[in-house]
Amino acid sequence: MTVAPLSTFAHPYSASYTDLKISNEKTEMTFIIDTQSIIELINEVDLNKDSKLEKSELDENEHHIEELVTESLALDKGANEMTPTLEKMELVEKDNKQFLKLTFTYDGFLSGDTIILTDGLYVNDSNTNYVNLVTVAYGDQKTEAVLQGNERSWTMLLAEEQIPQGEGDASTPTPVHKSNSSWFSFFKLGMLHILTGYDHLLFLIALLLRKQTLKQYIGIVTAFTVAHSITLSLSVLDIVNLPSLFVESVIALSIVYVALENIFRKKIQHRWGITFAFGLIHGLGFADLLKEMALPKSHLAVALVSFNVGIEVIQLSIVLVCLPILFYLHKQKNSLKLVQVLSAVIVIGGAYFLFNQLFF
């Protein structure tokens, strides 16, 4: 059996979630990763080839999985790599998706220590879409980071901050942390999320395919932006929640519906309305990654805005690239037939996404 092959291509939305709880006595790390990634990274772990991990398969391969994670995910104290103790390994289901949850314990950290977390999963895949969403708790403070692409290392310094005179004992150290996480990490995460969200991209292209005025195109893009921004925010704030299976199925249906309109409707009018309606559902789909991080309220606004801006930058870039091509296409004599053929391909793509959601 081979662990961590040299050339592996991560599937769409390959993601893990690392939760670190740091104290002077001990450090606890919970690492959650989708089981599809484990199946990709360890050859023959899926013995019955059903694209899921069974309890028996987990028990038989526990050592190989532990080896993969501990060799790929390193927690260092300064220049010294720390040795983890595996406390628990279990399969968990969430929103109709299967994840593997591992809990490790390490020695504690003291003020003045430097913590370095490095993730090497999919490190040899130059085109990887893998992302590790990290949340760290130290005392009553929390911070978060995003490890993705070539930026796979996160550093935090446990410093001491003296309490000003008049507010207590000036010699009492107060733990503070400094890390390399920033709004830019969430900005890049938003860009990556839509670039690997092929269902969202198909929906956007389907909306633009039929011949429309520039004003109509602007209305479509604006409606989609406003709609998914609303539900993205409401979902991350835990105000609106719908089952993942329902959300992903409606997203797939939205692709099929718009593509069928392109084929059978003689005239496209008021498309901004249906775009807004479906855009509300797409926003719930965009929110999945951020919701998994359980971001602290103090950092939520920056992360949410940065993530959404990243989505909008890619969306606008796609529109700006597509429109000149579409304007040229619509000048051709057989433009409607070409649009219908392309829309038929999109119907097949949307139907595939729907079938995959309902039966796999």
- List, as one string, the DSSP characters of 241-278: ---HHHHHHHHHHHHHHHHHHHHH-SS---HHHHHHHH
**Is residue 45 a part of any domain in this protein?**
yes
Are 144 and 135 within 8 A, CB to CB?
yes
Taking the C-alpha atoms of residue 73 and residue 274, their distance in angstroms, rounded to an integer, is: 44
Query: Which whole-number Å values give the CA distances from 253 to 282, 346, 357, in the listed order?
Result: 11, 11, 11
pTM of this prediction?
A: 0.72
Count of CA atoms in the C-beta half-sphere (13 A) of 44: 5
Specify the 3-state DSSP secondary structure of 184: helix
Pairing of strands 141-148, 131-138: antiparallel
**Is residue 27 a part of any domain in this protein?**
yes
pLDDT at 295: 66
Are 197 and 177 contained in the same domain?
no
Q: Which of 273, 192, 197, 277 is nearest to 230 (CA)?
A: 277
Q: Which of 316, 313, 284, 287 is nearest to 191 (CA)?
A: 313
Are 192 and 154 contained in the same domain?
no
Listed in sequence order, the residues at least 6 apart from 344 whose beta carbon sits closer than 8 Å to its beta carbon are 259, 263
**Is residue 261 a part of any domain in this protein?**
yes
Q: For each successive 10 residues of the chain (360 residues), what is the average pLDDT?
A: 43 77 94 89 84 88 93 93 94 83 94 91 76 85 81 82 44 41 77 86 95 93 95 90 91 96 90 95 87 68 88 94 94 93 96 86
**Number of compact structural domains in the chain:** 2
Among 131, 163, 181, the domain-final residue is: 181
pLDDT at 69: 94
Are 74 and 205 contained in the same domain?
no
pLDDT at 183: 77
**Is residue 10 a part of any domain in this protein?**
no
Structural domain span for residue 112? 15-181
**Is residue 333 a part of any domain in this protein?**
yes
Among 152, 181, 210, the domain-final residue is: 181
pLDDT at 5: 42
Segment (H or E) for 119 = strand 114-119
